[in-house]
Structure formats: C-alpha cells, structure tokens
Amino acid sequence: MSLALAGTLHAALSLNEIVAKYPDIPRLIIIKTDVQRRGIHYTERALSIVDPAIHQIRSPYLFGSRDGAIKPLPESLLLRDGTTIFVDPTPLEQNPYQVDLVEGRLALVDNGEVVEFVRLWEKPLYYDQKTSSGIPMSHIASARPQRLNIFQSSYCHFWAEQKGCRFCDIVNHNKQQKHELGVPVRLKPEDVSETIREALKEPGRFTNICLTAGSVLKGKDLFDHEVDYYIETLLAIGENFATKKFPSELISSAFNEKQLIRLYEQTGIMSYTSDLEVLNEEKFNWICPGKADTLGYNEWKKRLIRAVDIFGKGNVGTGLVGGVELAKPYGFGSENEALEATFEEAESLAVNGVTTFFIVWVPRPGSDFRGQQNPSLEYFVRLASGLHQIRAKYRLSIDFNDYRRCGNHPDTDLSRLL
C-alpha cells in the first residue's frame, strides 16, 4: 500500500462529517478542497463526452501533475457556484475522486455516491492559433476560466544550486514539457504580446493576467535580471491595453524597494505576490533552502511589507503551499501546532497590509517530497477559514486573487463575500 493511500484511509473525518462539523463553511468549498487534496480520476464514460474542439485539454503549466504524466485529459473542473477546482489526474491507488458520467452529466463520485455535478472548462478561441513565430498560443499563455497565465521562464536558479523548494517540481516538469510538447523554456515578449492580443478578441473570457516564473538570481542587485525580464514582458502585454494599468498579478521573488518601484511605475502591473510558502522561519529554512540562503525568511517578509507602500493595501500577498509545514521528517508534529504558528505569522503580515493565501499541497512525483501524504481535509478547512478570518479582520481585499481571478485558493474562495 502506498503512503498516500494509507494516509487517506486513516483520515479522521469524512467529507460529510466535515460539512456537518463546519456549517459556516460552504459545502461546495469543502468539496473543492477535498478534491484538490485527493485528486481526480476520469472514467472512460466521462472521457467519452470530452470534445477537444470545445473543452480545454491540459495545457502547459509551471508544475507537474501527481501522476507525473502529460496526457490529453480535460484541464479541470468548475462547480455550480462558479468555483474553480484546479486539480490533477491522480493514480487510482491514491484513492482520488472519480469524475464519471451520471444521467448525461459529469459528476464527482466517491464510493459510488454522486457528490456534486461539475462542468469542464471551455477552451478559449486563441488556443487554436499560432504566433507569427509558429508557436501554439496555448504554449505562450495558459488559460483558466477567467485568467491568463504567462509562465515566462520555467527555470528556477535555486535548482541550479540544488536548493529548490522541496515541494516543487518546476524544473523536472518543464524539462518533461519541453521534451514531450516542445514548450519553450523562455518566452519572447513579442509572442506574449501577440497571444494576449488574440485572447482579448473573445469578449467576456478573461478578467486577469498572471505572470510568474522561477527565480533568477543574477544582476547587479539580486534578482535584477528577473525584474528586467518581467518589465520587458509586461510592457509587451501592455501594448494591447488602452489604459496603463490592467488587472494583473505578478508572482515573483521578493524584490527590493527600487525593483518594486520600477515594476509598478514602468508597467501595467496592479498587484504583487511573493511566496513565503511556509510561515515559520525554521520550516522555511528546511523547506525552501534557496530562498533561505539568498534572502532569508525575515528579509523576505520585510520586502513584502515594503511592497504595500508601493502597490497599496490589499494588493500585496504571499502564497503558502498549505500542508508542507507538516511534511516529514522536520515539519510540525501536529495539525494544531501548524495552524497556530501559521495564523500568528499571517496576522503579523496582515497588520502590515499583506494578505496570505494557500494552495493545497500535492506531493508531486518530481519533487523532494514525493510519496508523502498531505494533511487531513479538516486541516485544510481550518486553514482556509482562519486565513479568511484574518483577511476579514484586517479588511484586506483579495480582488486580485479571488475565486474568479485565480481560483486555486480555498481561503480566497471564502473571501468572495468581502
């Protein structure tokens, strides 16, 4: 029996028990969280109604899936409240939810019971186009239901020094993507500009553009080259807008004040995220050795706080890989201890105008943490609820990264009503 399956079987409370125990948390968000936690498997019946002309098939992404394969399966799912489930195909032995065809509709099924009906993501029109340089536009910008992702460079310099984050598979996955699909490792600004121009021709399709990439350590100041490259790409994107600023998010390394001012003043970017990944210095040092060695936990935090003066309160955030704080062998010993530490740190950031959100940790086969088990559903529900409550307490907006403009954070799904 795999570690993952063993972990699933001893989970403390079932989905229905969690729904009953937390009546203030919407059942749909709890379902989303559990589906992200456990993954999905498409049955043959479900796949029989997938039409690549209509539905979005898995396109290039920064990180790999938990089956370690690149297969032409549906990109992902939507719930009836508009909540996105961003979820990977998962080997059956890890006990994922099944996506099956029930009464002519796709449904999430667990132990033979229909949990909820779902819809597939629709393919944007630009996915059928190529750039003038001959690259499929789906390789330049990956679509979510309402967002465009630009992964401008898929190499992370921390990996070159064997100091990549332990949950991350970016370089391994992107080698695989380049080899199997021919996805460029580094995007040219003119290809990005052309792709965005094509995407904007579809009315009502997108509300946000997100740029992210691996860390680039080179430059006069640390990360200067990373900043230069983002500015170049953002200026290319900006050619397509009538306004200087456009709804957008940059997820990058923790830049210094001078770099942040350059980014904000020279480009159309409206929000800034730099991921601490785990809110505890000791765990950070173990889990993110590259980030720890270059800047360190406290400087990373300080830079986030300084970014609020430039981007404004509610426009600066930090992302966590929720659950890695419990990874073996040096993670927290209990879920309560992990939550307490995380909330304390999230609050110290919120006081200073920085909002914290998380993705559900998926132990990917291309990462150092492969084969580990992510925490219980109850842990993730409590984490989502706690981070949402901190955001509400400090009146921090999450408009740049909410259910619609991102869709990958259970806690920001809850903040839809802020």
Partner 1 sequence: MSVQLSDELVSLLHDRESIKLLATTDESGTPHVVAKDSIHISEDGTIHYLEHLESSRTNHNLVRAIWFDRRVSIVIIGTHQSFQIKGRPLEVHITGPLFQKHYAEVRHRLGDVDLSGVWVIEPLEVINENPEIRRQEEEKRRPFFRHLDRLAKPLKGI
In the complex with partner 1, the residue whose CB is nearer, 78 or 231, is 78
List the x/- string, 158-197, binding to partner 1 by CB under 8 A: ----------------------------------------
Contact status: 392 vs partner 1 (CB under 8 A): no
Query: What is the spatial order of strands in the sheet that 119-120 belongs to?
Result: 84-85, 77-78, 119-120
Contact status: 247 vs partner 1 (CB under 8 A): no
Contact status: 122 vs partner 1 (CB under 8 A): yes
Contact status: 417 vs partner 1 (CB under 8 A): yes
Q: How far is the CB of 25 from partner 1 (least distance, A)?
A: 9
Contact status: 267 vs partner 1 (CB under 8 A): no
Using the rule CB under 8 A, which residue among 72, 104, 203, 329 binds partner 1?
A: 203
Using the rule CB under 8 A, which residue among 29, 168, 210, 236 binds partner 1?
A: 29
Distances (CA, A) of 412 to 24, 86, 95, 138, 317: 15, 14, 27, 27, 11
Burial tier of 9 (Cβ tally within 10 Å: 0-12, 13-18, 19+)? exposed
Contact status: 128 vs partner 1 (CB under 8 A): no
> Token pair of 61, please?
């992404």
Q: How far is the CB of 391 from partner 1 (least distance, A)?
A: 15
Using the rule CB under 8 A, which residue among 119, 201, 218, 244 binds partner 1?
A: 119
The piece of 21-29, 190-198, 276-284, 345-353 that touches partner 1 (CB under 8 A) is 21-29
Q: How many residues bind partner 1 (CB under 8 A)?
A: 20
SS (H, E, C) the chain: CCHHHHHHHCCCCCHHHHHHHCCCCCHHHHHHHHHHHHCEEECHHHHCCCCCCCECECCCCCCCCCCCCCCCCECCEECCCCCEECCCECCHHHCCEEEEEECCEEEEEECCEEEEECEECECCHHHHCECCCCCEHHHCCEECCCEEEEEEECCCHHHHCCCCCCCCCHHHHHHHHHHHHCCCCECCHHHHHHHHHHHCCCCCCCCEEEEEECCCCCCCCCCHHHHHHHHHHHHHHHCCCCCCCCCEEEECCCCCHHHHHHHHHHCCCCCEECCCECCCHHHHHHHCHHHHHHCCHHHHHHHHHHHHHHHCCCCEEEEEEECHHHCCCCCCCCHHHHHHHHHHHHHHHHCCCCEEEEEECCCCCCCCCCCCCCCCHHHHHHHHHHHHHHHHHCCCCCHHHCCCCCCCCHHHHHHHHC
Contact status: 45 vs partner 1 (CB under 8 A): no
Contact status: 26 vs partner 1 (CB under 8 A): yes
Contact status: 105 vs partner 1 (CB under 8 A): no
Contact status: 204 vs partner 1 (CB under 8 A): yes
Using the rule CB under 8 A, which residue among 3, 5, 13, 27 binds partner 1?
A: 27
The piece of 116-124, 171-179, 306-314, 363-371 that touches partner 1 (CB under 8 A) is 116-124
The piece of 33-41, 114-122, 174-182, 231-239 that touches partner 1 (CB under 8 A) is 114-122
List the x/- string, 59-98, binding to partner 1 by CB under 8 A: -------------------x-xxx----------------
Using the rule CB under 8 A, which residue among 139, 157, 391, 404 binds partner 1?
A: 404
Q: How far is the CB of 57 from partner 1 (least distance, A)?
A: 16
Using the rule CB under 8 A, which residue among 95, 138, 142, 146 binds partner 1?
A: 146
Using the rule CB under 8 A, which residue among 3, 13, 28, 261 binds partner 1?
A: 28
Could you list the residues that contact partner 1 (CB under 8 A)? 26-29, 78, 80-82, 119, 121-122, 145-146, 202-205, 404, 416-417
